[in-house]
């Protein structure tokens, strides 16, 4: 632990006690938590950023969209608007946030909405003429004003919440025992070859309750990079000089993947959900223009692409989450919850 983190440790203890008291007040009904008849699935984490919420939400969309009318509700982090909004053809990343805009662009026939007040957001969605049959709450594990029917908690393989400490010393938003609210815990960003023995070791470390199931997922990268007009095989990217631009919490898995494919790149790293300025764009273009090769490219993540598309001539590498094993068991748990909730509503 660094010196500055040691100095901040008393604040972490205080913050942990505050969140503990808050959670107990919700548990005992002192603070109101609203239940809804419509099935509500939360995807969230105990720590700040970088756990893989976006690809997990997209996994759920793909799993359920053929049979149900789906809405995704997010707060729209760093958006320029306020209140409840539904994405439409006039929306952009600045208005509704980069992740919601990504969902809207990527999937047809789903509703994408933003509202910092999730209770109000759900009520607004329920009041629509063609109201959703399922609502997915993006990054709402700590939003306890909503008593969700199903909670999915994510934790990265190399940064398990049980190894972390409270903010500001560590990255936890609440104490580790908050994990007990989840029905499912997914260890994300695992090595593809993670053995059953190692999975058992990690699951034991997480110490789930009898009512929880632990799953393990990995990042599945696309075989192409693309923009709205064309695709280029990842294999052919070896011939290019690449400027990699990222504004995500943890770009290390992407960097390691590109290196494993023998792709040469210069990395320009920016903070998560970064709002690129004119000066930033000028710097990126300047570095790109200095590359003498005719085969050169600005490459970014899908989340960054929705913010940079109108500012840079770039391409992105799409990712999906994939379960290492027992993926069908995960699907069954989700479908069983939705079917049971739908029957009871």
Average of pLDDT values for 111-134? Answer: 97
Whether 277 has a pLDDT exceeding 70, the answer reads: yes
Q: What is the pLDDT of residue 2?
A: 61
pLDDT band with cut points at 50, 70 and 90 for residue 4: confident
Q: What is the pLDDT of residue 172?
A: 95
Whether 6 has a pLDDT exceeding 80, the answer reads: no
**Tokens representing 70?**
């789906």
pLDDT tens readout for residues 219-273: 999 999 999 899 999 999 999 999 999 999 899 999 999 999 999 999 999 999 9
23-219+322-344 and 221-321, same CATH topology = yes
Q: What is the pLDDT of residue 99?
A: 95
Residues with Cβ within 8 Å of 142's Cβ and at least 6 positions away in sequence, in order, are 44, 173, 174, 178
Does the CA dihedral 23-116-216-160 come out positive or negative? Answer: negative
Buried/exposed 89-112: b ≥16 CB within 10 Å, e otherwise: eebbbebbbbbbbbbbbeeeebbb
Name the CATH code of domain 23-219+322-344 (choices 3.30.70.270, 3.40.50.300, 3.20.20.70, 3.30.565.10). 3.40.50.300
Q: What is the pLDDT of residue 345?
A: 64
Which among 213, 215, 150, 160 has a CA at the least distance from the CA of 50?
A: 160
Average of pLDDT values for 48-65? Answer: 95
**Tokens representing 59?**
């996994």
Size of the chain, expressed as the number of residues it contains: 345
In whole angstroms, give the CA distance from residue 36 to residue 82: 24
Query: Rounded to two decimals, what is the model's pTM?
Result: 0.94
Q: Domain map of the chain by residue range?
A: 23-219+322-344, 221-321
pLDDT band with cut points at 50, 70 and 90 for residue 35: very high
Fold (CATH) for 221-321 = Rossmann fold (3.40.50)
- Residue 248: DSSP 8-state: S
8 A C-beta contact, residue 189 and residue 158:
yes
pLDDT band with cut points at 50, 70 and 90 for residue 50: confident
Q: What is the pLDDT of residue 7?
A: 80
pLDDT tens readout for residues 294-314: 999 999 999 999 999 888 999
Neighbours of 212 (CB within 10 A): 18
Average of pLDDT values for 148-165? Answer: 96
Could you give phi then psi for residue 162, rounded to 5 degrees?
Answer: -70, -15
Does the CA dihedral 163-167-170-173 come out positive or negative? Answer: positive
pLDDT tens readout for residues 175-204: 999 999 999 999 999 999 999 999 999 999
């Amino acid at each position: 632990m660094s010196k500055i983190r040691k100095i901040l440790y008393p604040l972490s203890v205080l913050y942990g006690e505050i969140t503990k008291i808050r959670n107990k007040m919700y548990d005992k009904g002192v603070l109101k938590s609203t239940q809804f008849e419509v099935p509500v699935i939360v995807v969230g984490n105990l720590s700040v950023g970088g756990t893989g919420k976006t690809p997990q939400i997209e996994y759920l969309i793909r799993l359920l969209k053929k049979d149900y009318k789906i809405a995704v509700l997010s707060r729209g982090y760093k958006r320029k608007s306020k209140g409840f909004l539904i994405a439409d053809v006039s929306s952009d990343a600045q208005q509704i946030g980069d992740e919601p805009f990504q969902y809207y662009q990527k999937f047809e026939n789903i509703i994408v909405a933003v509202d910092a007040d999730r209770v109000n957001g759900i009520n607004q969605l329920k009041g629509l003429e063609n109201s959703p049959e399922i609502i997915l709450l993006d990054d709402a594990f700590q939003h306890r004003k909503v008593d969700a029917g199903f909670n999915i908690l994510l934790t990265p393989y190399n940064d398990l919440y049980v190894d972390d400490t409270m903010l500001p010393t560590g990255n936890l938003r609440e104490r580790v025992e908050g994990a007990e609210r989840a029905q499912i815990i997914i260890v994300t960003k695992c090595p593809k070859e993670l053995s059953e023995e190692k999975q058992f070791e990690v699951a034991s470390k997480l110490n789930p309750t009898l009512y929880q199931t632990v799953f393990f997922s990995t990042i599945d990268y696309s075989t192409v990079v693309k923009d709205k007009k064309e695709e280029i095989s990842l294999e052919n990217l070896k011939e290019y000089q690449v400027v990699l631009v990222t504004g995500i919490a943890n770009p290390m898995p992407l960097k390691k993947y590109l290196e494993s494919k023998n792709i040469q790149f210069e990395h320009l790293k920016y903070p998560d959900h970064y709002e690129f300025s004119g000066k930033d764009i000028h710097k990126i273009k300047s570095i790109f223009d200095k590359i003498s090769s005719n085969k050169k490219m600005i490459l970014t993540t899908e989340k960054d692409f929705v913010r940079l598309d109108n500012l840079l001539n770039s391409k992105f590498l799409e990712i999906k989450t994939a379960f290492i094993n027992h993926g069908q068991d995960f699907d069954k748990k989700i479908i069983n919850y939705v079917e049971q909730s739908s029957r009871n509503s």
